[in-house]
A = this chain, B = another copy of it.
Amino acid sequence: MTNTEPRRRNRRGEGGKLREEIIEAALALLDEGGDERAVTLRSVARKVGIAAPSIYPHFADQPSIMLAVVQGEMAKLATVLHEAAQNAEQDGRSQLFAVCNAYLDFAREHPQRYRIMFGGLWTPSVEDTSITDADLESLGVDAFTLLAGVLGKCVEEGIAHRSDDLYGDSVALWLGLHGLAHQRAVVRKMPGPDDVGDRLITALAHLK
Contacts and interface: CB of A to CB of B under 8 A. Distances in A.
A201 to B, nearest CB: 10
A90 interface: no
Contacts of A115: 119, 122
A34 B136 CA distance: 19
Contacts of A38: 124
Interface string A165-176: 101110110111
A138 to B, nearest CB: 12
A176 to B, nearest CB: 5
Interface of A: 33-35, 37-38, 115, 118-119, 122-125, 133, 136-137, 165, 167-169, 171-172, 174-180, 182-183, 185-189, 191-193, 195-196, 199-200, 203-204, 206
24 contacts: A35-B122, A35-B124, A37-B37, A115-B122, A118-B186, A119-B119, A119-B185, A165-B193, A167-B192, A167-B193, A168-B199, A171-B192, A172-B176, A172-B196, A172-B203, A175-B179, A175-B192, A176-B179, A176-B200, A176-B204, A178-B179, A182-B182, A203-B203, A203-B204
